Structure 1
Amino acid sequence: MPASRYILVVDDEPQIHRFLRPTLVAAGFTVESALTGVQALQKFSATPPELVILDLGLTDMDGSAVLATIRETSKVPVIILSARDNEMEKAALLDAGADDYVSKPFGVSELIARINTALRHAVAAAGTTAVFEAGDLIVDTLAHRVTLRGEPVRLTPREYDLLHLLARHAGRLLTHQHILREVWGPNHAEHAQYLRVFISRLRQKIEVDATQPRLLLTEAGVGYRLAAPISLAAQF
């Protein structure tokens, strides 16, 4: 990752900055730090970063308010970093525009993997082709074709719509409500049973072992993510 990739880390704990800065710099990023929400928004406005790591428990305002302000003007990837572990709050933040949620304490390798996935997705969203590839699974949305190990996968229109949505946001956690609204419409946002059935059907068709999924992953109580792709150059 080139050193020019600029990340803004927003956290009110100085020890988090002392830990994260050298780690992220070693991974090839340029890092700016903010201890408060106001400071974060000032720095964001002065020099827009390519990604924001945002803690929720800031001293002057809740991180959700910082996220809301950022989303008024920018689609920059935002990864929530927080000790809070409330499933409903996670879902609300993701629906409000967060790209991912990492709970404290966290592993460095996991955080860097999430950062790289969010940055790849942001780049892909500005692209012009529409091919998602993860292992032996290929979703070609221009041809409206899905293949697994070179063989066509037969999907119903609704199954395809669901896989298409997950592929568009590969590597990102999508909440149950978001998926239901996008695939079934706003009147079905609370009908989680639809989603469970179709996720099960998709796993039967795209996983080597549907009982131990490696592509279509569950975040208990929050939603689903399609594993980060090997190559993704797409605005689907």
Structure 2
Amino acid sequence: MQQLLMIEDDVRLAGMVSEYLGASGFLVSHAPDAKTGLTRLQSAGVDLVILDLMLPDMDGLQVCQRIRALPSALGQVPVLMLTAKGDPMDRIIGLEMGADDYLPKPFEPRELLARIKAILRRKGTDSPSPTQTMNFGSLEIDRDARRVLVKGHPCELTSYQFDLLVALAERAGRVLTRDQIMEAVRGRELEAFDRSIDVHMGRIRAAIEADPKAPQRILTVRGVGYVFARQQA
């Protein structure tokens, strides 16, 4: 049974969500504040964190940053962020801080469940390619270990960012539209012009490019989308 950790100060909402997700086969643990949530995350196996943006003791963005700073697999646990704020900029900032997905309140429980399943499906999906490690000069992408190395040094990417990178690398040299990238990653419905794709691409560039402002590996094709360069210029 997959284990979820919900860090949410609204006890009533947490109870309703826990009951709904529990009926769908998930084991949900609830933490009413950031301190309790971070402690619980490090003391028990968690497959995904549902994180509220507004917490009594710490901002949810700070919590997300602290999760990403944790060592090994703990820091890579998928994070789905909840917020009562409807400002698109809040969503972009959340993604930049390392969240895998973002759901504004109020939300339909079915949509929350669908997004959780999509994130976990991406996390556990094996690539159909028989070659699990892709090498592009100093860049190495290991599908099995879900690890990216640049000159032997590990890169920090979220689960979703790793999947985006793999989708591009598998189609190296081919220009992909945002729709095609989202279709390749699968499991998540986004609008064609959702800026979250661009946010994630920026984060990936920051991780793998020598100079993210002048990328040599992931190139923007203006008015179309992105292309992964087989060889750096």
Please indicate the TM-score interval, normalised by the length of the shorter structure: 0.5 to 0.7
Unaligned runs of 5+ in 2: 131-165, 191-195, 227-233
Q: Structure 1: give runs of 5+ residues left out of the alignment.
A: 132-139, 146-155, 202-236
Give the number of equivalent residue pairs: 174
Provide the rounded CA distance (Å) in 1 between the counterparts of 2:116 and 2:222: 28
Q: CA deviation at 1:93?
A: 1.2
1:170 corresponds to 2:192: no
- Is the 1:34–1:40 contact (alpha carbons within 8 Å) kept by the matching residues of 2? yes
Aligned to 2:23: 26
How far, CA to CA, are the matches of 1:142 and 1:103 in structure 2? Answer: 29
Q: Deviations over 1:207-232 (max 9, x none)?
A: xxxxxxxxxxxxxxxxxxxxxxxxxx
Q: Within 2, Cα distance between the matches of 1:57 and 1:143?
A: 37
Q: Provide the C-alpha distance between the structure 2 equivalents of 1:45 and 1:91, rounded to a whole number of angstroms.
A: 27
TM-score, normalised with respect to structure 1: 0.63
1:129 is aligned to 2:145: no
CA contact (8 A) 1:180 1:195 kept: no
Residues 56-205 of structure 1 mapped to structure 2, 5 A cutoff: 56-73=53-70, 74-124=75-125, 127-130=126-129, 157=173, 159-160=175-176, 166=182, 169-172=185-188, 174-179=196-201, 182=204, 186-187=212-213, 197-199=223-225
1:71/1:165 CA distance change after superposition, 3 Å:
farther
Q: Could you tell me the TM-score, scaled by structure 2's length?
A: 0.63
* CA–CA distance in structure 2, aligned partners of residues 52 and 94 of structure 1: 14
RMSD: 3.5
Larger relative contact order (C-alpha < 8 A, sep ≥ 6)? 1
Q: Please identify, of 158-167 and 29-38, the stretch whose mean Cα deviation from structure 2 is larger.
A: 158-167
Partner SS state of residue 17, structure 1: helix
Change in Cα spacing, 1:142 to 1:67, as seen in structure 2 (3 Å) is closer
CA distance in 1, matches of 2:53, 2:221: 29
Q: What is the distance in 1 between the residues matched to 2:203 and 2:95?
A: 14
| SS in structure 2 at match of 1:54 | strand
